[in-house]
Amino acid sequence: MSAIDTLPPLREVIASHQLSARKSLGQNFLLDLNLTAKIARQAGTLSECDVLEIGPGPGGLTRGLLAEGARRVLAIEKDPRCLPALAEIAAAHPGRLEVINGDALEIDPLAHLRPPIRIAANLPYNVGTELLVRWLTPRDWPPFWQSLTLMFQREVAERIVAKPGTKAYGRLALLAQWRAEARIVMSLPPEAFTPPPKVSSAVVHLTALPEPRFPADAAILSRVVAAAFNQRRKMLRAALKGQAPDIEDRLISAGIKPTERAEQVPLEAFCALARELER
Ligand code: SAM
């Protein structure tokens, strides 16, 4: 029997440590350990990996990751009230769980991790999207991680895997699909969480590609795509006019009609435009 079974049920953990959920920290906990084990399994083979978990809370997913055999888990949690519950999990898995109390947006975890590294998280969505964009846009590629297994609001998950010509297509789809393979691997109804959020959720699994699908500078691509979709109803020559004085010529050189709207433009053409703008 794995050590996950010797720890108390999560409802008891929450009650004994008085972990009433705080909205300000986006706390919607997963208390069903079968479900957290299932999410952990979506993260791939963990036995030879260090896993970075952001926002472990009372530790449901952490317990899943350890039960699925993660070599080590490094968990970064902002809420200090969760630390005693996480310490109990660390004691049940000697040497396999390190917890850092702090804001994941401010902490550089690399010194605490040994490759290969996978990342798993169930995070408030604004922190999740900000971290996702950071993980997808380092200057050099491949990144420090092999895969990301992340819970998002269903609508955000759909934006990550969206195709051109759809309403959900935008910056997240382009950045994710440029350098990674992205799939929705699970859907969860609001009742899966305590307390239930207003919307459904989904787990997205992203695998880092060995190299980007098309060459481009990450910072330029990121900037152009953000500008193009900030005014997604405008023609690109207008939406991108701040990017270069001769933007129409550059769009044409990249094979894009200046009268097109961002929603219609595929990844390959945005990468060509980023290269044109780099010249
Ligand atoms: N992983 C747990 C689960 O699945 O039950 C908790 C998920 S809850 C949606 C999000 C967790 O992220 C909370 O524990 C919250 O305190 C933590 N959190 C929120 N913002 C954070 C940040 N900036 N850095 C680290 N943790 C954060």
Atom of ligand 1 nearest to the CA of 57: 14
DSSP secondary structure code for residue 116 in this structure: S
Assess whether 170 and 236 both reside in one domain: no
Q: Look at residue 3 and tell me whether its pLDDT is greater than 50.
A: no
Supply the pLDDT for residue 6. 83
Assess whether 171 and 243 both reside in one domain: no
Q: How much is the average pLDDT of 149-167? A: 97
* Prediction pTM value: 0.96
Q: For the domain that residue 223 is a member of, what is the CATH number? A: 1.10.8.100
* Residue owning tokens 């299932």: 38
Atom of ligand 1 nearest to the CA of 107: 24
Final residue of a structural domain among 155, 175, 208: 208
pLDDT tier, 27 (very low <50, low <70, confident <90, very high otherwise): very high
Q: Give the integer Cα–Cα distance in Å for 235 and 250.
A: 14
Expressed in angstroms and rounded, the spacing between residue 253 Cα and the centre of ligand 1 is 45
Q: Give the integer Cα–Cα distance in Å for 260 and 224.
A: 15
Structural domain includes residue 213: no
Q: Look at residue 2 and tell me whether its pLDDT is greater than 70.
A: no
Atom of ligand 1 nearest to the CA of 104: 24
User: Which residues does a 6 A CB cutoff place in the pocket of ligand 1?
Assistant: 25-30, 54-57, 60-61, 76-79, 82, 103-105, 122-124, 127
Structure confidence by residue, pLDDT tens digits, 97-144: 999 999 999 999 999 999 999 999 999 888 999 999 999 999 999 999
Structural domain includes residue 196: yes
Q: How much is the average pLDDT of 78-84? A: 98
**185 phi, psi to nearest 5 deg:** -110, -15
Supply the pLDDT for residue 5. 57
Q: Look at residue 219 and tell me whether its pLDDT is greater than 70.
A: yes
Assess whether 242 and 192 both reside in one domain: no
Q: Ligand 1, from 123, 130, 131, 156: best to mutate by most atoms within 8 Å of Cβ?
A: 123
**139 phi, psi to nearest 5 deg:** -60, -45
Q: Ligand 1, from 33, 122, 186: best to mutate by most atoms within 8 Å of Cβ?
A: 122
Assess whether 175 and 265 both reside in one domain: no
Structural domain includes residue 123: yes
DSSP secondary structure code for residue 261 in this structure: B
Assess whether 200 and 228 both reside in one domain: no
Q: Rounded to an integer, what is the distance from CA 93 to the centroid of its chain?
A: 26
Q: How much is the average pLDDT of 157-162? A: 98
Q: 235 lies in which domain range?
A: 218-278
Average per-residue pLDDT for the chain: 96
Q: Look at residue 172 and tell me whether its pLDDT is greater than 80.
A: yes
Atom of ligand 1 nearest to the CA of 36: 4
Expressed in angstroms and rounded, the spacing between residue 256 Cα and the centre of ligand 1 is 41
Q: Is the peptide bond before 116 cis (omega within 30 degrees of 0)?
A: yes
**Which residue has a Cα nearest atom 23 of ligand 1?**
103
pLDDT tier, 146 (very low <50, low <70, confident <90, very high otherwise): very high
Q: How many domains, in total, are found in the chain?
A: 2
Atom of ligand 1 nearest to the CA of 30: 5
Q: Look at residue 1 and tell me whether its pLDDT is greater than 70.
A: no
Supply the pLDDT for residue 126. 85
Q: What six digits make up the tokens of 154?
A: 């269903």
Q: Ligand 1, from 36, 54, 151, 156: best to mutate by most atoms within 8 Å of Cβ?
A: 54
Structural domain includes residue 65: yes
Supply the pLDDT for residue 125. 85
Assess whether 194 and 239 both reside in one domain: no
Q: For the domain that residue 43 is a member of, what is the CATH number? A: 3.40.50.150
Assess whether 147 and 233 both reside in one domain: no
Q: Look at residue 240 and tell me whether its pLDDT is greater than 60.
A: yes
**Which residue has a Cα nearest atom 18 of ligand 1?**
55
Supply the pLDDT for residue 225. 98
**Which residue has a Cα nearest atom 20 of ligand 1?**
25
Q: Give the integer Cα–Cα distance in Å for 216 and 268.
A: 10
Q: Look at residue 148 and tell me whether its pLDDT is greater than 70.
A: yes
Left if phi > 0, otherwise alpha if psi is -120 to 50, otherwise beta: which for 59?
left
Q: Look at residue 4 and tell me whether its pLDDT is greater than 70.
A: no
